[in-house]
Structure 1
Amino acid sequence: MELPLAFTDRTKNLLKDEYPAFEKALREESPISIRLNPLKTNSGLSGQEQVPWCKNGYYLQDRPAFTFDPRFHAGAYYVQEASSMFLDHVIRQHITRPVRYLDLCAAPGGKTTLALSALPAGSLVVCNEIVRNRAHVLAENIIKWGNPYCIVTNNDSATFNSLKHYFDVILTDVPCSGEGMFRKDPVAVQEWSASNVGLCSERQKEILHNIWDALRPGGILIYSTCTYNTDENELIADYIQNRLGATPLPVKTDPEWGIHKELTGTVPCYRFMPHVTKGEGLFMTVFRKSESEDIIPRERLQNRISAKKNKNRNGCSIPDNIRSWIRNNEKFFFSSNANSIFAFPSEYSEDLPLFESRTNVIHAGIPLAYAKGKDYIPEHALALSTFLNRNIFPEEELPLNTALSYLRRESFQLQSNERDYFLLTFEGMPLGWAKNLGNRANNLYPQEWRIRSGYTPTQPLPIAFK
């Protein structure tokens, strides 16, 4: 890896005597880490080192072929760089009650799924991605995680201007020059330039201004990048304090973690550097918005929603048998249109129409079923939901080879002769649906999610849950 000369010159000036160790670390292999889904597995990993700043994070000794682990597709864990998991520590330290939370630049979903696990139960998470195809990848990962307290949107940051004082917490993991990804992504090295650093810095300020009004007075802003330079890090932190009037919130850390403090200025900042922390480059800082302005009641936003948006809420005709497909269904409201039925947490029954009227919503809650003729076919998202009522459908446990055939959307047979929709599982974890016809089964795994490789591992799965 040949580092750009302008990058090495700038970084040497920042790190001084530490620079040789830093550059050496950039030429070494990246650590591999995953984060478990506590709603799908309540155990840790056998023989693996825990990520110290994340309750459910673990380092792996080698990088397995995650694609061929059915538990990965079931949402039992997320493959996430360890430094990014610091968000878990920040959330658990500063957020103690249910909140309305925005992950503004969320794809592919690592920090969103982390927030869904770390936030107090009952929090609503809105995650957004401006690039459409990346937004659909984000929705896929949210569906696999299985938490219904989530809305996925596909919008520019400026769209959230109209939601004044709506969010209690906003994470801006902003687009950046990507220096922290150099040893994982050679393209990031090739695309780096000093001019791009400047462009990123200006774009970051624009994003912050776009969403600032959406944060409630007294609310928390978390700002992060995966880059090393101060233009996109400490200088932006100073900008948030001085131009936006926010108050820095310190984060208690353990000195043994090796987290670097701020390189310039006085705002408390947290830098993950590969020569002193076991992870990639990350910068994070936390602020509280001033309470000097009057809070606009959320009801004022919600009351502007037209009657047309609400006409099917709660009062829609949903077959009782479909309502029974989820546990605790009395805690959800149900909605339907000509082709589909979905459920959403009742405590946010006025929030979803608000987002449907102001943003491009591409996923929300639990999609339950879609109509095909006179039949209702269970949605794949229902199979992966942590609120699935597993007493309703017959199940069949699949061995590894059959599970991979299912995930490739190949044809296969079930052992049962019962004609019904079957929930297919692997090691007890739901993978999806098949409609058993007796002599064959219709594979209902989503076509766009299928494994495209025909490789089948011959060794046992390398990740061992306790």
Structure 2
Amino acid sequence: MELPASFVDYTRSLLGEEEYEKLAVALQQEPPVSIRFNNEKWKVQDEGLSAVHSPFDRVPWSSEGVYLDERLTFTFDPLFHAGCFYVQEASSMFVEQALRQYIKEPAIMLDLCAAPGGKSTHARSVLPEGSLLVANEVIRNRSQVLAENLAKWGHPDVVVTNNDPADFSALPSFFDVILTDVPCSGEGMFRKDPVAIEEWTPENVEICWQRQRRIIADIWPCLKPGGILIYSTCTFNTKEDEENVRWIQQEFGAELLPLEVREEWNITGNLLKDESTGTVHLEGIPVYHFFPHKTKGEGFFLAVLRKPCIETDDNETKKAWETINSQKSVISKSTIARAAKKKGKHAGKGVPSVAKELMDVAQSWVRDIGNYSLLTDAETVYAFPNARLEELEALRQNLKVIQSGVSVGEVKGRDLVPAHALALCPVLLRDGAFVVEDISYEQAIAYLRKEAIVLPAAVARGFVLLTYRGVPLGFVKNIGNRANNLYPQEWRIRSGYLPEELRIL
């Protein structure tokens, strides 16, 4: 790989000759492969690792992350499609430390720049029970990928939005935690993404740090007083990292918070030189750099900041909370079901109601139904936690919500067809709600290609939940001579062949 000359000069000056040469060597090596298990679907205790083909090295700063010896054929692994694990770069799993060390109570969290969903699925796994995650992506097609990955991960207390950061200004002091994994120059991804090298220029770095500040300025009012901002990039330079953190401190009075880290993790601290002396002060400034020649992962940077706590008699704070409270209406199941409105040419027309008989069917599919409300959006029935209905209503009133909770079923004529997301949500799917049939690897791949499946004659007709190695994979409707495949068309495996050498968990 040929690195841009300007990058080489700047980074050598930043790190020093010896450290830069070590980094340059590391950037020529193959990047490590890491995944993160979904503990709701596949426990990662030591005794559970015997279920897979080889032992793993753990990602030390993540409770569920592991390194693989080689890259697997993930596309052809049914467990990947079932949401049992997520392929995520190891360094970025460090976000877990910020959440575990500072978020101890149920929280409302925003992942502002969330696609494709690695940090969102990770956050949802480690947030305290009762928390709500809002995962946002400004680019429409990427927001659909984000929604798919979160649906596969299988948590009901998630909302996916498709908004510009400025749109969140309608929700002042709404979030307890905001993760801003801001768009950056991508220096830390050079060995994984050749396009990042081609696009890197000093001018692009300048554009990036200014864009990053605009994003923070737009979203800062949405953070509650005393709330936590997690700022991260996948780049090395101090313009996008330390200098932006210093700007957040100076501009908004934020407090920079330390994290407890172990020496053997080989995380690098502050690299910003003192302007008066030209020296680097590594101590006392808690920011965290991951360099691939020192840590087993790609380039990553993270800092944790706390918004100042403002006294309750502060007029601005009072006004903010009055705005939020005015948006929160008294909500019941029937109120929300009737309140949903179609947009565009159907604006102002009520959403068709779902027959009570079908709502009763949906209730019979849901575990602990008393903790959830069944809401309707067009002809979809979805479940959302009762405890977060007010927050959902505020989000729906002010943002473009593309997915909330878990889809339970879709009305097709006189039937309610179980939604694929329900199969992938172990917290929600009631045991015994459907006939279950465990299928072979070959059948699983055929199912994921949305091909017809033939089940044993003894399997009852009707909706059947298919499992692979005991893990729910999705639904079919068994009509006897074949089973109609209900796997989402847009999620199907498009490749018509199997690799000569399969490497799966």
- Give the alignment's TM-score, normalised by structure 1: 0.96
Structure-1 residue corresponding to 2:32:
31
Q: Tell me the CA shift for residue 310 of structure 1.
A: 7.9
Counterparts of residues 27-426 of structure 1 (less than 5 Å): 27-44=28-45, 45-46=49-50, 47-264=55-272, 267-292=285-310, 294=312, 295-296=317-318, 300-304=323-327, 312-313=335-336, 317=356, 319-386=359-426, 387-415=428-456, 416-426=458-468
Residue type of the alignment partner of 2:436 = E
Encode CA deviations 1:175-206: one digit per residue, 9 max, x unaligned.
Answer: 00000000000000000000000000000000
Q: Distance in 2 between matches of 1:454 and 1:168?
A: 46
- CA pair 302-367 structure 1, distance change in 2 beyond 3 A: farther
Encode CA deviations 1:91-114: one digit per residue, 9 max, x unaligned.
Answer: 111111110000000000000000
Contact 2:74 2:504 in 1 (8 A): no
Q: Tell me the CA shift for residue 459 of structure 1.
A: 6.1
Aligned residues: 463
- CA pair 447-4 structure 1, distance change in 2 beyond 3 A: same
Encode CA deviations 1:57-83: one digit per residue, 9 max, x unaligned.
Answer: 000001010111100000000000000
Encode CA deviations 1:227-273: one digit per residue, 9 max, x unaligned.
Answer: 00110000001001111110000001001000000101663110000
Contact 2:73 2:502 in 1 (8 A): no
Q: Tell me the CA shift for residue 312 of structure 1.
A: 3.2
Contact 2:333 2:374 in 1 (8 A): no
Q: Distance in 2 between matches of 1:32 and 1:366?
A: 30
Q: Distance in 2 between matches of 1:67 and 1:302?
A: 46
Residue type of the alignment partner of 1:393 = F
Encode CA deviations 1:279-318: one digit per residue, 9 max, x unaligned.
Answer: 0000000011001354447574243357899863379856
Which secondary structure does the structure 2 equivalent of 1:312 belong to? helix
Structure-2 residue corresponding to 1:8:
8
Greater alpha carbon shift after TM alignment, 88-97 vs 148-157:
88-97
Q: Distance in 2 between matches of 1:337 and 1:276?
A: 50
Contact 2:337 2:377 in 1 (8 A): no
Q: Distance in 2 between matches of 1:271 and 1:41?
A: 31
Contact 1:161 1:213 in 2 (8 A): yes
Structure-1 residue corresponding to 2:480:
438
Which secondary structure does the structure 2 equivalent of 1:324 belong to? helix
Q: Tell me the CA shift for residue 333 of structure 1.
A: 1.1
Residue type of the alignment partner of 1:347 = A
Contact 1:305 1:357 in 2 (8 A): no
Q: Distance in 1 between matches of 2:185 and 2:77?
A: 33
- CA pair 298-146 structure 1, distance change in 2 beyond 3 A: farther
Q: Distance in 2 between matches of 1:166 and 1:267?
A: 28
Note the residue ranges of structure 2 that are not aligned, 5 or more in a row: 274-283, 339-352
Structure-1 residue corresponding to 2:277:
none
Q: Distance in 1 between matches of 2:431 and 2:333?
A: 31
Q: Tell me the CA shift for residue 322 of structure 1.
A: 1.2
Runs of 4+ more than 6 Å apart: 306-310
Which secondary structure does the structure 1 equivalent of 2:465 belong to? strand
Encode CA deviations 1:377-403: one digit per residue, 9 max, x unaligned.
Answer: 111111111211131100111100100
Residue type of the alignment partner of 2:437 = E
Contact 2:256 2:304 in 1 (8 A): yes
- CA pair 21-167 structure 1, distance change in 2 beyond 3 A: same
- CA pair 311-419 structure 1, distance change in 2 beyond 3 A: closer
Structure-1 residue corresponding to 2:342:
none
Q: Distance in 1 between matches of 2:147 and 2:451?
A: 24
- CA pair 11-398 structure 1, distance change in 2 beyond 3 A: same
Residue type of the alignment partner of 1:303 = S
Q: Distance in 1 between matches of 2:459 and 2:174?
A: 52
Contact 1:339 1:371 in 2 (8 A): yes
- CA pair 263-23 structure 1, distance change in 2 beyond 3 A: same
Q: Distance in 2 between matches of 1:309 and 1:240?
A: 40
Q: Distance in 2 between matches of 1:272 and 1:381?
A: 35
Q: Distance in 2 between matches of 1:159 and 1:337?
A: 22
- CA pair 395-168 structure 1, distance change in 2 beyond 3 A: same
Which secondary structure does the structure 1 equivalent of 2:172 belong to? coil
Residue type of the alignment partner of 2:429 = L
Q: Tell me the CA shift for residue 458 of structure 1.
A: 6.6
- CA pair 134-314 structure 1, distance change in 2 beyond 3 A: closer
Greater alpha carbon shift after TM alignment, 127-136 vs 259-268:
259-268
Contact 1:238 1:267 in 2 (8 A): no
Q: Distance in 1 between matches of 2:327 and 2:193?
A: 46
Which secondary structure does the structure 2 equivalent of 1:125 belong to? strand
Residue type of the alignment partner of 1:158 = A
Encode CA deviations 1:126-163: one digit per residue, 9 max, x unaligned.
Answer: 01000000000000000000011100000000011111
Which secondary structure does the structure 1 equivalent of 2:466 belong to? strand
